[in-house]
Homo-oligomer: A and B are copies of this chain.
């Protein structure tokens, strides 16, 4: 009977912990749930740690201290992250995806839950240490990947809009230079969306010149929010010098000189390694 109970507990705990990544559950929470002793639950946690480690399913951690307990972080092992990004890059580097103006059709990739989930987990893995309070993105295409990153970090997503909406209340608007159009654009965020002194991680789908990213940095300054990092699914190799520094991308695309180009070259970023 005890054998079955442990099986049950482990399967249920595994589900609960992975459903709420980065959230700390106390041992007492599970003791109450399963009517088990703390020592038993400690053993269960040790088994879970071994399993998660053995099958490279992420990182199960014991957190000590008053607010201690156990938490699950869906860390993607580096070799697996490289393999995923490399295969995605190959899938994207096809002439049918090249659009006029040297753009690449990405919308389908950016809204397939299985792909976006992995992208978000890879990006989040780089920013646990920076302890962001929220993830900021600019509408629209980057929302799913920013959302998955926020989910893996267990923080809310905050979405900047192209203009302020009646149903969002008082807002702060800033102007920025869009890299792709070279035009002055507006970015808007409701006053109540964030709080002074918070820490933001910026996540977006694509960066060319970095104008939009710079806009988000400026927007955060208006709210007295610290930007702890910036992450993008793809950037272009050109221009080499972007308007922002200290960012991470998953893939880099070489310039598409000609929309009739037979192919486009996309590579995993340098920080992703095969070993």
Interface residues of A, Cβ cutoff 8 Å to B: 3-4, 6-8, 10-16, 18-20, 23, 33, 47-48, 50-52, 54-55, 57-58, 99-101, 103-108, 111-114, 116-117, 139-141, 143-144, 147, 150-151, 154, 156-159, 161, 166-169, 180, 190, 192-193, 206
Q: Decide if A8 touches B154 in the complex (CB within 8 Å).
A: no
Interface of A is mostly: helix
Tallying the copies of this chain within the complex gives 2
Chain B contacts of A154 at CB under 8 A? 113-114
Q: Decide if B19 touches A190 in the complex (CB within 8 Å).
A: no
Q: Decide if A117 touches B151 in the complex (CB within 8 Å).
A: yes
Among candidates B47, B99, B108, B169, residue contacting A156 with C-beta atoms closer than 8 Å: B108
| Docked CA distance A57–B19 (Å) | 10
Chain B contacts of A33 at CB under 8 A? 55
Q: Decide if B54 touches A167 in the complex (CB within 8 Å).
A: no
| Docked CA distance A20–B116 (Å) | 12
Q: Decide if A8 touches B156 in the complex (CB within 8 Å).
A: no
| Docked CA distance A151–B156 (Å) | 18
* Interface pairs (25), CB distance under 8 Å: A6-B7, A7-B7, A7-B47, A8-B54, A10-B14, A11-B13, A11-B48, A11-B51, A11-B52, A12-B14, A15-B52, A18-B19, A33-B55, A99-B166, A99-B169, A103-B167, A107-B190, A108-B156, A108-B193, A113-B147, A113-B154, A116-B147, A140-B140, A143-B143, A147-B147
Chain B contacts of A140 at CB under 8 A? 139-140, 143, 159, 161
State how many angstroms separate the Cβ of A161 from the closest Cβ of chain B: 6
Q: Decide if B20 touches A159 in the complex (CB within 8 Å).
A: no
Closest 3 A-B residue pairs measured CB to CB? A103-B167, A113-B151, A111-B157
Q: A14-B15, A15-B52 are in contact. Are A114 and B159 (CB under 8 A)?
A: no
| Docked CA distance A144–B144 (Å) | 7
Select from chain B the residue with minimum beta-carbon distance to A190.
Answer: B107
Chain B contacts of A18 at CB under 8 A? 15, 18-19
| Docked CA distance A80–B190 (Å) | 32
| Docked CA distance A190–B14 (Å) | 40
